[in-house]
Protein backbone atom coordinates (compact mmCIF):
# COMPACT_ATOMS: atom_id res chain seq x y z
CA UNK A 1 0.00 0.00 0.00
CA UNK A 2 1.51 3.32 -1.03
CA UNK A 3 1.83 6.25 1.30
CA UNK A 4 -0.79 8.07 -0.76
CA UNK A 5 -3.44 5.39 -0.42
CA UNK A 6 -2.69 5.16 3.33
CA UNK A 7 -3.34 8.87 3.64
CA UNK A 8 -6.63 8.60 1.78
CA UNK A 9 -7.63 5.70 3.99
CA UNK A 10 -6.83 7.72 7.13
CA UNK A 11 -8.82 10.69 5.88
CA UNK A 12 -11.75 8.43 5.16
CA UNK A 13 -11.62 7.01 8.68
CA UNK A 14 -11.33 10.43 10.19
CA UNK A 15 -14.30 11.62 8.15
CA UNK A 16 -16.37 8.59 9.15
CA UNK A 17 -15.44 9.22 12.76
CA UNK A 18 -16.52 12.83 12.55
CA UNK A 19 -19.84 11.89 10.94
CA UNK A 20 -20.47 9.14 13.45
CA UNK A 21 -19.62 11.20 16.45
CA UNK A 22 -21.74 14.08 15.18
CA UNK A 23 -24.65 11.70 14.78
CA UNK A 24 -24.01 10.28 18.23
CA UNK A 25 -23.81 13.71 19.78
CA UNK A 26 -27.03 14.69 18.03
CA UNK A 27 -28.70 11.54 19.28
CA UNK A 28 -27.54 12.01 22.86
CA UNK A 29 -28.50 15.62 22.96
CA UNK A 30 -31.96 15.08 21.38
CA UNK A 31 -34.00 15.39 24.58
CA UNK A 32 -32.31 18.67 25.30
CA UNK A 33 -33.32 19.91 21.86
CA UNK A 34 -37.08 19.28 22.53
CA UNK A 35 -38.46 22.33 24.33
CA UNK A 36 -40.31 20.41 27.04
CA UNK A 37 -39.04 16.94 27.91
CA UNK A 38 -41.79 14.81 29.38
CA UNK A 39 -39.72 14.07 32.47
CA UNK A 40 -39.72 17.78 33.25
CA UNK A 41 -43.31 18.77 32.48
CA UNK A 42 -44.80 15.76 34.20
CA UNK A 43 -43.23 14.84 37.50
CA UNK A 44 -46.28 13.26 39.11
CA UNK A 45 -47.00 10.42 36.70
CA UNK A 46 -49.92 11.87 34.78
CA UNK A 47 -50.93 10.43 31.39
CA UNK A 48 -48.54 12.61 29.42
CA UNK A 49 -46.26 11.23 26.69
CA UNK A 50 -43.83 12.97 24.35
CA UNK A 51 -46.62 13.86 21.95
CA UNK A 52 -49.94 13.37 23.75
CA UNK A 53 -51.67 14.41 26.95
CA UNK A 54 -54.87 12.74 28.14
CA UNK A 55 -57.76 14.63 29.74
CA UNK A 56 -61.17 13.47 30.95
CA UNK A 57 -64.69 14.65 30.15
CA UNK A 58 -67.26 13.69 32.78
CA UNK A 59 -70.87 14.65 32.09
CA UNK A 60 -74.24 12.91 31.98
CA UNK A 61 -75.07 11.82 28.46
CA UNK A 62 -77.87 9.56 29.69
CA UNK A 63 -80.55 10.17 32.28
CA UNK A 64 -82.44 13.32 33.33
CA UNK A 65 -79.50 15.68 33.14
CA UNK A 66 -78.46 14.69 29.61
CA UNK A 67 -80.75 17.45 28.34
CA UNK A 68 -78.54 20.07 29.98
CA UNK A 69 -75.11 18.48 29.90
CA UNK A 70 -74.98 17.56 26.22
CA UNK A 71 -74.17 21.15 25.25
CA UNK A 72 -71.23 21.23 27.67
CA UNK A 73 -69.75 18.03 26.21
CA UNK A 74 -70.04 19.49 22.72
CA UNK A 75 -68.37 22.75 23.77
CA UNK A 76 -65.48 20.99 25.50
CA UNK A 77 -64.86 18.76 22.50
CA UNK A 78 -64.89 21.77 20.20
CA UNK A 79 -62.35 23.60 22.35
CA UNK A 80 -60.10 20.54 22.51
CA UNK A 81 -60.29 20.07 18.75
CA UNK A 82 -59.38 23.72 18.18
CA UNK A 83 -56.47 23.51 20.60
CA UNK A 84 -55.20 20.38 18.82
CA UNK A 85 -55.50 22.08 15.45
CA UNK A 86 -53.27 24.85 16.81
CA UNK A 87 -50.63 22.28 17.82
CA UNK A 88 -51.88 21.13 21.21
CA UNK A 89 -50.57 22.00 24.66
CA UNK A 90 -46.77 22.20 25.13
CA UNK A 91 -46.46 20.46 21.76
CA UNK A 92 -48.70 17.58 22.82
CA UNK A 93 -52.02 16.63 21.25
CA UNK A 94 -54.90 16.34 23.69
CA UNK A 95 -56.58 12.94 23.87
CA UNK A 96 -59.94 12.59 25.54
CA UNK A 97 -61.39 9.86 27.72
CA UNK A 98 -65.10 10.50 28.12
CA UNK A 99 -67.10 9.00 30.97
CA UNK A 100 -70.85 9.12 31.53
CA UNK A 101 -72.08 10.27 34.94
CA UNK A 102 -75.57 9.01 33.96
CA UNK A 103 -77.33 11.71 36.05
CA UNK A 104 -76.44 9.72 39.14
CA UNK A 105 -74.21 11.31 41.77
CA UNK A 106 -72.45 8.15 43.08
CA UNK A 107 -71.67 7.26 39.47
CA UNK A 108 -70.01 10.66 39.08
CA UNK A 109 -67.80 9.95 42.09
CA UNK A 110 -66.89 6.49 40.83
CA UNK A 111 -66.08 7.69 37.31
CA UNK A 112 -64.00 10.59 38.57
CA UNK A 113 -61.96 8.16 40.65
CA UNK A 114 -61.47 5.99 37.58
CA UNK A 115 -60.31 9.00 35.54
CA UNK A 116 -57.87 10.18 38.19
CA UNK A 117 -56.50 6.87 39.49
CA UNK A 118 -56.60 4.51 36.54
CA UNK A 119 -56.39 6.87 33.56
CA UNK A 120 -54.25 9.47 35.36
CA UNK A 121 -55.79 12.28 33.31
CA UNK A 122 -54.14 15.68 33.46
CA UNK A 123 -57.45 17.54 33.93
CA UNK A 124 -61.18 16.81 33.99
CA UNK A 125 -63.83 18.95 32.35
CA UNK A 126 -67.18 18.08 33.78
CA UNK A 127 -70.09 18.02 36.21
CA UNK A 128 -73.17 20.19 35.85
CA UNK A 129 -75.42 20.05 38.88
CA UNK A 130 -74.09 21.11 42.26
CA UNK A 131 -75.00 17.66 43.57
CA UNK A 132 -72.65 15.99 41.11
CA UNK A 133 -69.88 18.47 41.91
CA UNK A 134 -70.30 17.88 45.64
CA UNK A 135 -70.09 14.13 44.95
CA UNK A 136 -66.78 14.30 43.08
CA UNK A 137 -65.15 16.99 45.23
CA UNK A 138 -63.70 14.62 47.88
CA UNK A 139 -62.27 12.42 45.11
CA UNK A 140 -60.57 15.37 43.40
CA UNK A 141 -59.17 16.59 46.71
CA UNK A 142 -57.93 13.15 47.77
CA UNK A 143 -56.18 12.31 44.50
CA UNK A 144 -55.29 15.92 43.70
CA UNK A 145 -56.99 16.25 40.33
CA UNK A 146 -58.14 19.43 38.61
CA UNK A 147 -61.80 19.91 37.67
CA UNK A 148 -63.11 22.64 35.36
CA UNK A 149 -66.77 23.15 36.36
CA UNK A 150 -68.96 25.09 33.90
CA UNK A 151 -72.34 25.77 35.54
CA UNK A 152 -73.53 29.00 37.15
CA UNK A 153 -74.22 27.92 40.74
CA UNK A 154 -75.05 29.04 44.27
CA UNK A 155 -71.47 29.76 45.41
CA UNK A 156 -70.48 28.97 49.02
CA UNK A 157 -67.64 26.80 47.79
CA UNK A 158 -64.01 27.19 46.88
CA UNK A 159 -61.69 24.27 46.31
CA UNK A 160 -58.02 24.18 45.33
CA UNK A 161 -59.00 21.39 42.94
CA UNK A 162 -61.77 23.15 41.04
CA UNK A 163 -61.80 26.07 38.60
CA UNK A 164 -65.34 27.46 38.38
CA UNK A 165 -65.88 28.81 34.86
CA UNK A 166 -69.54 29.76 35.35
CA UNK A 167 -70.83 32.60 37.49
CA UNK A 168 -71.42 32.21 41.19
CA UNK A 169 -74.71 33.57 42.54
CA UNK A 170 -73.81 37.16 43.38
CA UNK A 171 -72.40 37.83 39.92
CA UNK A 172 -75.63 36.81 38.26
CA UNK A 173 -78.10 38.25 40.75
CA UNK A 174 -76.93 41.63 41.96
CA UNK A 175 -76.28 43.22 38.58
CA UNK A 176 -79.62 41.90 37.31
CA UNK A 177 -81.61 43.37 40.18
CA UNK A 178 -79.77 46.69 39.98
CA UNK A 179 -80.62 46.87 36.31
CA UNK A 180 -84.31 46.13 36.72
CA UNK A 181 -84.57 48.67 39.53
CA UNK A 182 -82.85 51.34 37.43
CA UNK A 183 -84.49 50.66 34.07
CA UNK A 184 -87.96 49.52 35.07
CA UNK A 185 -88.30 51.47 38.31
CA UNK A 186 -89.14 48.21 40.08
CA UNK A 187 -90.22 48.53 43.72
CA UNK A 188 -91.80 45.15 44.49
CA UNK A 189 -90.58 41.64 43.73
CA UNK A 190 -92.14 38.21 43.76
CA UNK A 191 -89.48 35.51 44.21
CA UNK A 192 -90.25 32.08 42.86
CA UNK A 193 -88.14 28.98 42.47
CA UNK A 194 -87.75 25.23 42.32
CA UNK A 195 -87.20 23.73 45.73
CA UNK A 196 -83.50 22.95 46.11
CA UNK A 197 -80.26 24.59 47.12
CA UNK A 198 -79.50 26.77 44.09
CA UNK A 199 -82.82 28.65 43.81
CA UNK A 200 -83.10 28.97 47.58
CA UNK A 201 -79.58 30.37 48.02
CA UNK A 202 -80.00 32.63 45.02
CA UNK A 203 -83.29 34.01 46.29
CA UNK A 204 -81.72 34.59 49.70
CA UNK A 205 -79.06 36.73 48.05
CA UNK A 206 -81.71 38.45 45.92
CA UNK A 207 -83.93 39.21 48.93
CA UNK A 208 -80.99 40.60 50.91
CA UNK A 209 -80.05 42.85 48.03
CA UNK A 210 -83.63 43.98 47.37
CA UNK A 211 -84.12 44.86 51.03
CA UNK A 212 -80.77 46.65 51.15
CA UNK A 213 -82.03 48.87 48.33
CA UNK A 214 -85.09 49.67 50.49
CA UNK A 215 -87.46 47.79 48.19
CA UNK A 216 -89.97 45.09 48.96
CA UNK A 217 -90.34 41.35 48.43
CA UNK A 218 -94.09 40.67 48.27
CA UNK A 219 -93.88 36.91 47.93
CA UNK A 220 -91.32 34.13 48.01
CA UNK A 221 -92.05 30.50 47.36
CA UNK A 222 -90.75 27.21 46.12
CA UNK A 223 -92.23 24.35 44.17
CA UNK A 224 -90.96 20.76 44.13
CA UNK A 225 -88.71 19.82 41.21
CA UNK A 226 -90.88 18.49 38.43
CA UNK A 227 -93.99 20.42 39.57
CA UNK A 228 -96.28 20.94 36.60
CA UNK A 229 -99.23 23.00 37.88
CA UNK A 230 -98.60 26.67 38.49
CA UNK A 231 -102.12 28.10 38.29
CA UNK A 232 -102.39 28.87 42.00
CA UNK A 233 -99.14 30.76 42.21
CA UNK A 234 -100.02 32.62 39.02
CA UNK A 235 -103.24 33.76 40.71
CA UNK A 236 -101.24 34.92 43.72
CA UNK A 237 -98.94 36.85 41.43
CA UNK A 238 -101.94 38.49 39.80
CA UNK A 239 -103.28 39.47 43.21
CA UNK A 240 -100.03 40.94 44.50
CA UNK A 241 -99.16 42.65 41.20
CA UNK A 242 -95.38 42.70 41.75
CA UNK A 243 -93.30 45.00 39.55
CA UNK A 244 -90.95 42.08 38.91
CA UNK A 245 -91.51 38.35 38.89
CA UNK A 246 -88.11 36.89 39.80
CA UNK A 247 -88.17 33.28 38.61
CA UNK A 248 -85.62 30.52 39.23
CA UNK A 249 -87.66 27.55 38.07
CA UNK A 250 -85.68 24.71 36.48
CA UNK A 251 -86.08 21.60 34.37
CA UNK A 252 -89.44 20.38 33.05
CA UNK A 253 -91.24 22.70 35.49
CA UNK A 254 -89.85 25.63 33.53
CA UNK A 255 -91.83 24.68 30.46
CA UNK A 256 -95.06 24.25 32.45
CA UNK A 257 -94.54 27.56 34.26
CA UNK A 258 -94.08 29.74 31.16
CA UNK A 259 -96.81 28.02 29.17
CA UNK A 260 -99.29 28.49 32.00
CA UNK A 261 -98.19 32.07 32.63
CA UNK A 262 -98.91 32.87 29.01
CA UNK A 263 -102.23 30.99 29.04
CA UNK A 264 -103.34 32.85 32.17
CA UNK A 265 -103.02 36.16 30.37
CA UNK A 266 -99.74 37.35 31.89
CA UNK A 267 -98.18 38.70 28.74
CA UNK A 268 -94.49 39.25 29.46
CA UNK A 269 -94.09 41.32 26.31
CA UNK A 270 -96.56 43.95 27.58
CA UNK A 271 -95.55 46.87 29.80
CA UNK A 272 -97.71 45.56 32.60
CA UNK A 273 -95.45 42.67 33.58
CA UNK A 274 -91.70 42.27 33.99
CA UNK A 275 -90.10 38.90 34.56
CA UNK A 276 -86.41 38.43 35.35
CA UNK A 277 -84.93 34.95 35.43
CA UNK A 278 -81.50 33.45 36.02
CA UNK A 279 -82.43 29.91 35.00
CA UNK A 280 -83.54 30.10 31.37
CA UNK A 281 -80.86 29.98 28.67
CA UNK A 282 -81.39 29.53 24.93
CA UNK A 283 -81.26 25.76 25.61
CA UNK A 284 -84.33 25.87 27.83
CA UNK A 285 -86.23 28.08 25.40
CA UNK A 286 -86.11 25.21 22.89
CA UNK A 287 -88.44 23.29 25.19
CA UNK A 288 -90.49 26.26 26.40
CA UNK A 289 -91.10 27.70 22.95
CA UNK A 290 -90.08 31.27 22.08
CA UNK A 291 -93.69 32.41 21.77
CA UNK A 292 -94.34 31.49 25.42
CA UNK A 293 -91.44 33.41 26.95
CA UNK A 294 -91.13 36.36 24.58
CA UNK A 295 -90.52 39.53 26.57
CA UNK A 296 -88.87 37.93 29.62
CA UNK A 297 -85.46 39.17 30.78
CA UNK A 298 -82.59 36.90 31.76
CA UNK A 299 -79.42 37.80 33.67
CA UNK A 300 -76.51 35.71 32.37
CA UNK A 301 -72.91 36.30 31.39
CA UNK A 302 -73.32 34.98 27.87
CA UNK A 303 -75.96 34.99 25.14
CA UNK A 304 -75.60 33.36 21.75
CA UNK A 305 -76.46 36.67 20.09
CA UNK A 306 -73.47 38.60 21.55
CA UNK A 307 -72.14 40.62 18.64
CA UNK A 308 -68.38 40.52 19.34
CA UNK A 309 -66.06 38.83 16.78
CA UNK A 310 -64.86 36.15 19.25
CA UNK A 311 -68.40 35.00 19.68
CA UNK A 312 -69.24 35.10 16.01
CA UNK A 313 -66.28 32.82 15.29
CA UNK A 314 -67.27 30.55 18.19
CA UNK A 315 -70.90 30.23 17.08
CA UNK A 316 -69.78 29.52 13.53
CA UNK A 317 -67.32 26.82 14.61
CA UNK A 318 -69.86 25.31 16.98
CA UNK A 319 -72.47 25.04 14.25
CA UNK A 320 -69.97 23.60 11.80
CA UNK A 321 -69.08 20.87 14.25
CA UNK A 322 -72.52 20.11 15.72
CA UNK A 323 -75.09 21.20 13.15
CA UNK A 324 -76.98 24.35 12.21
CA UNK A 325 -80.01 23.69 14.37
CA UNK A 326 -78.11 23.88 17.62
CA UNK A 327 -78.40 26.70 20.16
CA UNK A 328 -75.71 27.76 22.62
CA UNK A 329 -76.60 28.70 26.17
CA UNK A 330 -74.65 30.33 28.97
CA UNK A 331 -73.26 27.11 30.45
CA UNK A 332 -72.19 25.76 27.07
CA UNK A 333 -69.99 28.81 26.60
CA UNK A 334 -68.60 28.47 30.12
CA UNK A 335 -67.76 24.83 29.37
CA UNK A 336 -65.93 25.97 26.24
CA UNK A 337 -63.65 28.13 28.40
CA UNK A 338 -62.47 25.14 30.47
CA UNK A 339 -59.94 23.59 28.07
CA UNK A 340 -58.62 27.04 27.06
CA UNK A 341 -58.07 28.11 30.67
CA UNK A 342 -56.33 24.82 31.39
CA UNK A 343 -54.10 25.25 28.32
CA UNK A 344 -53.17 28.76 29.42
CA UNK A 345 -52.37 27.55 32.94
CA UNK A 346 -50.21 24.67 31.65
CA UNK A 347 -48.30 27.00 29.38
CA UNK A 348 -47.81 29.60 32.08
CA UNK A 349 -46.60 26.91 34.52
CA UNK A 350 -44.57 25.15 31.83
CA UNK A 351 -45.82 21.93 33.37
CA UNK A 352 -48.79 19.58 33.59
CA UNK A 353 -48.28 19.05 37.32
CA UNK A 354 -51.47 19.87 39.22
CA UNK A 355 -49.79 21.91 42.01
CA UNK A 356 -48.03 24.06 39.42
CA UNK A 357 -51.26 24.57 37.47
CA UNK A 358 -53.04 25.57 40.66
CA UNK A 359 -50.33 28.11 41.40
CA UNK A 360 -50.38 29.45 37.85
CA UNK A 361 -54.17 29.73 37.50
CA UNK A 362 -55.01 32.94 39.38
CA UNK A 363 -54.50 35.90 37.10
CA UNK A 364 -54.78 33.92 33.88
CA UNK A 365 -56.54 35.93 31.22
CA UNK A 366 -58.44 34.81 28.17
CA UNK A 367 -58.79 37.49 25.50
CA UNK A 368 -60.46 35.13 23.08
CA UNK A 369 -63.43 34.02 25.20
CA UNK A 370 -66.74 34.24 23.32
CA UNK A 371 -68.21 36.25 26.21
CA UNK A 372 -65.27 38.67 25.96
CA UNK A 373 -62.27 39.06 28.25
CA UNK A 374 -62.24 36.89 31.40
CA UNK A 375 -59.68 36.42 34.17
CA UNK A 376 -59.27 33.82 36.91
CA UNK A 377 -59.62 35.25 40.43
CA UNK A 378 -57.57 34.12 43.46
CA UNK A 379 -60.70 32.25 44.57
CA UNK A 380 -60.71 30.11 41.41
CA UNK A 381 -63.86 31.76 39.99
CA UNK A 382 -63.89 34.00 36.91
CA UNK A 383 -64.11 37.74 36.67
CA UNK A 384 -66.75 38.24 34.01
CA UNK A 385 -69.39 40.71 32.87
CA UNK A 386 -73.09 40.24 33.59
CA UNK A 387 -75.55 40.86 30.79
CA UNK A 388 -79.29 41.22 30.51
CA UNK A 389 -81.03 39.60 27.56
CA UNK A 390 -84.57 40.13 26.32
CA UNK A 391 -86.20 36.90 25.09
CA UNK A 392 -87.49 37.06 21.55
CA UNK A 393 -89.97 34.92 19.71
CA UNK A 394 -87.28 33.11 17.68
CA UNK A 395 -85.80 31.69 20.89
CA UNK A 396 -82.78 34.00 20.99
CA UNK A 397 -82.00 36.78 23.45
CA UNK A 398 -81.35 40.37 22.47
CA UNK A 399 -78.64 41.79 24.72
CA UNK A 400 -80.07 44.99 26.23
CA UNK A 401 -77.43 45.71 28.85
CA UNK A 402 -73.99 44.69 30.01
CA UNK A 403 -72.05 45.80 33.06
CA UNK A 404 -69.24 48.28 32.30
CA UNK A 405 -66.82 46.47 34.55
CA UNK A 406 -66.05 42.81 35.12
CA UNK A 407 -68.03 41.54 38.12
CA UNK A 408 -65.82 40.25 40.91
CA UNK A 409 -66.65 36.68 41.94
CA UNK A 410 -67.56 36.50 45.61
CA UNK A 411 -68.50 32.93 46.51
CA UNK A 412 -68.83 33.72 50.22
CA UNK A 413 -70.76 37.00 50.28
CA UNK A 414 -70.75 38.54 53.74
CA UNK A 415 -74.11 38.41 55.46
CA UNK A 416 -75.78 36.30 52.79
CA UNK A 417 -75.16 32.86 54.21
Partner 1 sequence: MFEGYSWAELGSIFAMQGFAGLSLFSVLVLMALGLAIIFGQMGVINMAHGEFMILGAYVTYLCSNFFAENLPALFSGYFLIAMLLAFLASASLGALVEWGLIRHLYKRPLDTLLATWGLSLILQQVYRSVFGAREVGVTLPDWLMGSFAVTDMIEIPINGVFVMFLTLGITAGVWLWNFRSSWGTQMRAVVQNRVMAGAVGIDTERIDRLTFAIGCGIAGIAGSAFTMIGSTGPTSGQLYIVDTFLVVVFGGAQSLLGTIFSAFAISQSQSTMEFFLSGSMAKVLTLLTVVTILMIRPQGLMSLRVRA
Q: Which CB atom, from 221 or from 320, has the smaller least distance to partner 1?
A: 221
Task: State the nearest-atom distance from the C-beta of 82 to partner 1, in Å.
Answer: 24
Q: Per CB under 8 A, does 235 bind partner 1? A: yes
Could you say which of 50, 51, 221, 408 contacts partner 1 (CB under 8 A)?
221
Q: Per CB under 8 A, does 156 bind partner 1? A: no
Q: Which CB atom, from 47 or from 285, has the smaller least distance to partner 1?
A: 285
Task: State the nearest-atom distance from the C-beta of 202 to partner 1, in Å.
Answer: 16
Q: Per CB under 8 A, does 342 bind partner 1? A: no
According to DSSP, the β-strands at 52-59 and 93-100 are: parallel
Within residues 54-73, the interface with partner 1 by CB under 8 A covers 61-64, 66-67, 70
Q: Which CB atom, from 283 or from 402, has the smaller least distance to partner 1?
A: 283
Could you say which of 6, 118, 216, 238 contacts partner 1 (CB under 8 A)?
238
Q: Per CB under 8 A, does 20 bind partner 1? A: no
SS (H, E, C) the chain: CCHHHHHHHHHHHHHHHHHHHHHHHHHHCHHHHCCCCHHHHCCCCCCECCCEEEEEEEECCCCCCHHHHHHHHHHHHHHHHHHHHCCCECCEEEEEEEEECCCCHHHHHHHHHHHHHHCCCCCEEECCCHHHHHHHHHHHHHCCCCEEECCCECCCCCCCCEEECCCEHHHHHHHHHHHHHHHHCCCEEEEEEECCHHHHHHHHHHHHHHHHCCCEEEEEEEECCCCCCCHHHHHHHHHHCCCEEEEECCCHHHHHHHHHHHHCCCCCCCCCCCEEECCCCHHHHHHHCHHHHCCCEEEECCCCCCCCHHHHHHHHHHHHHHCCCCCCCHHHHHHHHHHHHHHHHHHHHCCCCHHHHHHHCCCCEECCCCCCCEEECCCCEEEECCEEEEECCCCCEEEEEECCCCECCCCCCCCCC
Could you say which of 11, 228, 308, 312 contacts partner 1 (CB under 8 A)?
228
Task: State the nearest-atom distance from the C-beta of 125 to partner 1, in Å.
Answer: 18
Q: Which CB atom, from 93 or from 259, has the smaller least distance to partner 1?
A: 259
Q: Which stretch binds partner 1 (CB under 8 A): 23-31, 106-114, 230-238, 269-277?
A: 230-238
Task: State the nearest-atom distance from the C-beta of 228 to partner 1, in Å.
Answer: 5
Task: State the nearest-atom distance from the C-beta of 105 to partner 1, in Å.
Answer: 17
Binding marks (x or -) toward partner 1, 267..296, rule CB under 8 A? Answer: ----------------xxxxxxxxx-----
Within residues 184-213, the interface with partner 1 by CB under 8 A covers 195
Within residues 74-133, the interface with partner 1 by CB under 8 A covers none
Q: Which CB atom, from 281 or from 351, has the smaller least distance to partner 1?
A: 281
Q: Which CB atom, from 261 or from 349, has the smaller least distance to partner 1?
A: 261
Q: For residue 219, list its beta bridge partners.
A: 190
Number of residues that bind partner 1 (CB under 8 A): 46
Q: Which CB atom, from 63 or from 88, has the smaller least distance to partner 1?
A: 63
Rounded to 5 degrees, what angle do the CA atoms 35, 98, 328 make?
A: 95
Q: Which residues in this chain contact partner 1 in the complex, by CB under 8 A?
A: 61-64, 66-67, 70, 195, 220-224, 226-229, 231-236, 238-239, 251-256, 259-260, 262-265, 283-291
Amino acid sequence: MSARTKRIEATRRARAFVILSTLLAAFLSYPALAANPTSEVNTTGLAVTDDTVTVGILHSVTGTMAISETGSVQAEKLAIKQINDMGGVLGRKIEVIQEDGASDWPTFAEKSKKLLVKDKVAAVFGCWTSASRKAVLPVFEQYDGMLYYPTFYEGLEQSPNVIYTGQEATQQIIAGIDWVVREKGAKTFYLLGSDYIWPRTSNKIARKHIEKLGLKVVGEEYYPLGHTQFNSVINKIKLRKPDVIYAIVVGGSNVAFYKQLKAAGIDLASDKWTLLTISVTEDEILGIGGENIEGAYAAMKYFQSLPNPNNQAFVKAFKEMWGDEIVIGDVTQAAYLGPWLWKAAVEKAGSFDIPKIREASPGIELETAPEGYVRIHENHHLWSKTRIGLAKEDGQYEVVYETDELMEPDPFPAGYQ
